[in-house]
Amino acid sequence: MEGDIAQFALMGKYIGAGLATIGLGGAGVGVGNIAANFLAGALRNPSAAPSQTANFFVGVAFAEALGIFSFLIALLLLFAA
For the stretch 49-61, pLDDT in tens is 899 999 999 999 9
Comparing C-alpha atoms, which of 77, 70, 34, 66 is closest to residue 52? 34
For the stretch 33-50, pLDDT in tens is 999 999 999 999 999 889
Average pLDDT over residues 28-36: 91
pLDDT the model gives residue 81: 66
CATH number, domain containing residue 69: 1.20.20.10
The parent domain of residue 33 ranges over 2-79
Split into its structural domains, the chain has a count of: 1
pLDDT the model gives residue 4: 86
